[in-house]
Amino acid sequence: MDISEAIGIKLLDAGLKKIKPTRTLAFGVCLLILVGAILLSLPEASKSGESIGFLNALFTATSAVCVTGLTVVDTYTHFSLFGQIVILVLIQIGGLGIMTMATLLFLLLGKKITLRERLVIQEALNQFTLSGLVRLTRRILLITLVFEGFGAVLLVFRFVKYYDVGQSLYYGLFHAVSAFNNSGFDVVGGFRSLAPFIEDPIINIVTIVLNECGGLGFTVIYDILTTRDFRRLSLHSKVVITMTLILMFLGCMMFYVLEQNNPKTLGALTPTGKVLAAAFHSVSTRTSGFNTLNLEDLTTPAKYLSIILMFIGSSPASTGGGIKTSTFALIILMIYTVIASKEHVEIFKRRIPMDNVFKAIVIAIVSVLLVFISSFILTITEEADFFSIVFETTAAFSTVGLSLGITPGLTDFGKIVIILTMFTGRLGPLTLATALGNQTNKSLIKFPEERILVG
């Protein structure tokens, strides 16, 4: 190696060290999506032996990596076994996170995890500190294998009732991975998702449990497994568990009330089937995107409730999307604090720092703006009605694979808009903004304070 080459490598290494962790994370997700799109655009990925086109492949790869589940072509009908396995791998990597999988590879190769890599892992897992990140990554992998393994076994034994053994094994594995990672991809075929099993208690309950466990967040799951006492859990875990239970049961009850007399949805089911379908839809709208009901047959209030639950989403450091349950909880607490004229935001006898509350408010506002902008653009490019467009963009941002049927008919430009919305939703609007922005030093100048009128 000559001197010029050595200098070049030094400069390149110095340049990489200046790249912010958020940019590294965004670049990694983009690279994975690109590789997935190239593989899915190959003729071998299609059952017909013809490429589905790069844009459709890019849309599918983005949906898989961002664990969304929106599809422009039916997964089972159009993709070969090779294509379906590519999608499954993208779902697994996307659900666990680029850096989690990279850390596993480094550990297998005996490579030391550097400080820079730990910073990226911290950003990817949304953690407060750098301590224990490698240990947490190992636990994430173990938790994932256990949940997906048990889920697959239970689903396989149930699918045998409907399919042969070979198909049941494949269906059980695919849907367990898809459910835990909250992706909403299925291989049932015909854009039916899990509708054929709407009254099957085992398939419904196993899917709900996998969805909710994946949506709780890995840190919360580990906290529960090690603590086993709600009083000793971290404040974050307490807030997440409380909000998840409230949203799950409140959503179930509201869907039941709104749809129980609708002959196209719950009205045609048995009493047990009604409860199962309402519970499944309540969980699915916040996390995975599987569906057992035809969404187009829902009443308008139920569709509107679906949009709200999708926007809230799952929890931080999870496989789901949305603004997150903890963010929603902090906003509600902030509203209560202002109305009650209290000095501090408090919950479970703990005071929340105001910078934590401000971040939650900013995330919610930026997310609303993103959905608004995406919806506005689609009203120009697409022929669909406004309600369906808002539903679609909210689902894309929240990485929930639910649609009112407009996804396959999107224009090329519309597909690009949804691709960008899914990417931003999975990465996080603040993370993406930080990645695109420039680092600035904190100003030492403080201007005089003065109030403005609000309200």
| Number of domains within the chain | 1
| Lookup result for tokens 């820079």 | 116
Phi, psi of 55 (to 5 degrees): -65, -45
Checking if the pLDDT of 58 tops 90, the result is yes
pLDDT of residue 276: 93
Q: Is residue 305 included in any domain, yes or no?
A: yes
Nearest-angstrom CA–CA distance, 271 and 201: 12
Nearest-angstrom CA–CA distance, 355 and 365: 15
Nearest-angstrom CA–CA distance, 246 and 249: 6
Checking if the pLDDT of 221 tops 90, the result is no
Would you tell me how many other CB atoms lie within 10 Å of the CB of residue 350? Answer: 11
Bridge partners (DSSP) of residue 406 are none
Range 280-296 average pLDDT: 88
**Angle between helix 54-65 and helix 21-40 axes, rounded to 10 deg:** 130
> In 3-state terms, what secondary structure has residue 429?
helix
Nearest-angstrom CA–CA distance, 155 and 208: 12
How many residues are given for the chain? 455
Q: Is residue 206 included in any domain, yes or no?
A: yes
Could you tell me the sign of the dihedral formed by the alpha carbons of 223, 229, 235, 239, in that order?
positive
Q: Is residue 45 included in any domain, yes or no?
A: yes
Bridge partners (DSSP) of residue 350 are 347
Checking if the pLDDT of 10 tops 50, the result is no
pLDDT of residue 98: 58
Range picked from 120-124, 229-233, 325-329 for highest mean pLDDT: 325-329
pLDDT digits (tens, 9 = 90+) for 196-218: 898 899 999 999 999 998 888 87
Is residue 104 packed enough to be buried (19+ CB in 10 Å), middle (13-18) or exposed (0-12)?
middle
pLDDT digits (tens, 9 = 90+) for 318-369: 778 888 898 999 999 999 998 988 888 888 888 888 888 888 898 899 999 9
Lowest mean pLDDT among 13-22, 141-150, 233-242: 13-22
Q: Residue 27: name the closest of 413, 441, 431, 414 by CA.
A: 431
Q: Is residue 439 included in any domain, yes or no?
A: no
Higher pLDDT, 408 or 289: 408
pLDDT of residue 12: 39
Pair type for strands 345-347 and 350-352:
antiparallel
Q: Is residue 152 included in any domain, yes or no?
A: yes
pLDDT of residue 206: 94
Range 91-98 average pLDDT: 79
Domain that holds residue 421: 17-433
pLDDT of residue 94: 83
CA distance readout (Å), 272 to 260, 268, 298, 399 = 12, 12, 19, 29
Is 66 in contact with 422 (CB distance < 8 Å)?
yes
Q: Is residue 445 included in any domain, yes or no?
A: no
User: Using a CB cutoff of 8 Å and minimum separation of 24, what contacts does 385-392 make?
Assistant: 387/300, 387/303, 390/307, 391/303, 391/306, 391/307, 392/70, 392/418
pLDDT of residue 441: 53
pLDDT digits (tens, 9 = 90+) for 81-90: 999 999 999 9
Phi, psi of 345 (to 5 degrees): -85, 120
Q: Is residue 147 included in any domain, yes or no?
A: yes
Q: Is residue 194 included in any domain, yes or no?
A: yes
Q: Residue 320: name the closest of 285, 351, 352, 355 by CA.
A: 285
pLDDT of residue 1: 46
pLDDT of residue 417: 94
pLDDT of residue 390: 94
